[in-house]
Amino acid sequence: GAVVSQHPSRVICKSGTSVKIECRSLDFQATTMFWYRQFPKQSLMLMATSNEGSKATYEQGVEKDKFLINHASLTLSTLTVTSAHPEDSSFYICSAFPSGGTSYTDTQYFGPGTRLTVL
Amino acid sequence: AQSVAQPEDQVNVAEGNPLTVKCTYSVSGNPYLFWYVQYPNRGLQFLLKYITGDNLVKGSYGFEAEFNKSQTSFHLKKPSALVSDSALYFCAVGLSGNTGKLIFGQGTTLQVKP
């Protein structure tokens, strides 16, 4: 089946540092990936759409300069949390479409998530 | 605006009993509905989806969901619950416009007790 991986699974960093999270589609190509944020016992909040070869599109209220997204290949998208602060601590999850395109009838496959803790 | 509601924060059921996790939706146009399950500190796993056709959709791990247009519901069901089914369940609706974006409900914790 379609597998999406994330690295690292867990990261702890000091306030003010930057952290990069990788999202990879292991057995398929993905033109589009999505980044979500999830607070404890809460739903997923869509942060941005990552498009291969072009700029990411961010949801309203998400700071694009803080959450840098790069989708350099059809199997890799990265989310960099710049100058992280404790309020950025969260569970970050990515997803991707195995068909290589996007359709609201397609099934997204999700990565296992990355737990970010900013001290 | 499109939205999804899961009215129950938690559902408790005894092992072997049937379970239902409720979901209602509000969309303009045809609804495209999904159920995902999340185990602790893990990403989401796809269970099933409704796009068109038969109102009863069968999915992974013995789960099924019934699409009810008149009640705008898409409840998740399983005839006999297992302790291992205990997890967080999310209903989601696909946004129109071919963006691939999903709007998630707030999630329902299912607790299956032996």
Neighbours of A23 (CB within 10 A): 28
Interior angle at CA A55, CA B96 and CA B38, nearest 5 = 55
- Rounded CA separation B55/B4 (Å): 18
Question: Which amino acid, residue B110?
Answer: L
Span A83-118, pLDDT tens digits: 999 999 999 999 997 765 556 667 888 999 999 999
Chain A CA closest to residue B4? A43
Q: Transcribe A32-60 into DSSP letters.
A: EEEEEEE-TTS-EEEEEEEETTS--EEPT
Span B104-114, pLDDT tens digits: 999 999 999 99
CA distance A16 to chain B (A): 25
CA distance A56 to chain B (A): 13
Is the peptide bond prior to B79 cis by the omega test (within 30 degrees of 0)?
Answer: no
- Give me the pLDDT at residue A103, please: 64
Inter-chain Cβ pairs, chain A and chain B, closer than 8 A: 68
Select from B36, B51, B98 the Cβ nearest to the Cβ of A102.
B98
Contact A46 B102 (CB under 8 A): yes
Question: Which amino acid, residue B22?
Answer: K
Contact B41 A42 (CB under 8 A): no
Neighbours of B20 (CB within 10 A): 15
Chain B CA closest to residue A99? B100
- Rounded CA separation A3/A106 (Å): 15
Q: Which of A44, A46, A58, A62 should one mutate to test binding to chain B, selecting the residue with the greatest count of B CBs within 10 A?
A: A44
Select from A43, A44, A104 the Cβ nearest to the Cβ of B99.
A104
Contact B98 A103 (CB under 8 A): yes
Please list the pLDDT of chain B residue by residue as tens digits (114 residues).
788 999 999 999 999 999 999 999 998 888 889 999 998 877 889 999 998 889 999 999 999 999 999 999 999 999 999 999 999 999 999 876 667 788 899 999 999 999
The answer to whether the CB of B74 falls within 8 A of the CB of B68 is yes
Residue A78 has pLDDT above 90, yes or no: yes
Residue B96: list chain A partners with CB under 8 A. Answer: 104
